[in-house]
Amino acid sequence: METPNHCQFCAQHPDSAFHGMSREGLEEISQLKTCVSFRKGQVIMHEGARPQGVYCVHKGKIKLYTLGTEGKEQIIRFVTRGDLIGYRSILSDEPISASATALEDTFACYIPKSSFFKVIEDNPKFSLNLLKLSCHELGEAGKMITSLAQKNVKERLAEILLILNTTFGEDEEGYIDINLTREEIANMVGTATESVIRLISELRKEGYIRSKGKRIAVEDRSALRAMASVFE
């Protein structure tokens, strides 16, 4: 079994950008990278900056968010093990469009920009994987745009809870395995914190979910999907 710090570890995941890469290609990346870690709450990348490299997350959870005009966060997406941060900015030669903050202690591999370009050139399979991932994400973003434009707040909250449940899975007690404040959930739904608090209470009373402290568990998944008009 390879050491967990070797890129082959991540390449085993079928959705990984490294999937299907040659041994030589993975070896190349392993030589070029350095290992870094971030404490919970630490900002990894700032919106508007021009990153000098790419992070590949090895362990931990990260939120990608923008700041609106009032300084309010909008969480766009989460990044977990096997995901890359910063490559889009580098490839499109634009400032980075969302900040990244560690939600828990996080370990990542850092690949400098020039090395990243070299890997891209040497490994068409890698860039094709990135293209596939980007295409998938564009589809997801389109869905989110439609939800934000057309669904009411309750439906959107339900949808976000389902997404969180799918993204992070459940802990031993069945709760969504991520530690988020009501404010952070509101920053995904695009609504006021109080509205989220009220609607979580309502969804609980209606039997869709259960909660304990900050933690939330989806109780009736198919009912919640129907209520949120989420189709597969």
Piece of the chain touching DNA by CB under 7 A; list 117-125, 128-136, 168-176, 192-200: 192-200
- Please tell me whether residue 136 binds a second copy under the rule CB under 8 A: yes
Compute the least distance from the CB of residue 15 to a second copy, in Å.
11
Strand-strand pairing, 43-45 and 99-102: antiparallel
Stretch of 19-27, 81-89, 199-207, 217-225 lying at the interface with a second copy (CB under 8 A): 81-89
Among 168, 185, 31, residue whose Cα is nearest residue 112: 31
The residue among 111, 116, 57 whose CA lies nearest residue 83 is 57
Would you count residue 195 as binding a second copy (CB under 8 A)?
Answer: no
Q: Of 118, 151, 182, 225, which lies in the binding site for a second copy, with binding defined by CB under 8 A?
A: 151
Name the β-bridge partners of 34: 110
Check binding of 193 to DNA (CB under 7 A): yes
Cβ burial, residue 185 (10 Å; 0-12/13-18/19+):
buried
Nearer to a second copy, 36 or 227 (CB): 227
222 binds a second copy (CB under 8 A): no
66 binds a second copy (CB under 8 A): yes
Residue with Cβ nearer DNA (14 or 213) = 213
185 vs 198: CA distance, rounded Å: 12
Give the residue among 103, 104, 98 at the shortest CA–CA distance from 184. Answer: 103
Cα separations (Å) of 196 from 80, 182, 199?
24, 7, 5
Q: Which residues of 10-45 are buried (b: 16+ CB within 10 A; e: fewer)?
A: bbeeeebbbbebeeebbebbeebbeeeebeeeeebb
Residue 172's binding partner out of DNA, a second copy, none, with CB under 5 to 8 Å set by partner kind: none
Which spans of this chain sit near DNA (rule: CB under 7 A)?
A: 152-154, 181-183, 190-195, 197-198, 200-201, 211, 213-214
Which spans of this chain sit near a second copy (rule: CB under 8 A)?
A: 66, 68-70, 72, 74, 76, 87-89, 91-94, 97-98, 120-121, 124, 127-128, 130-139, 141-146, 148-151, 189-190, 229
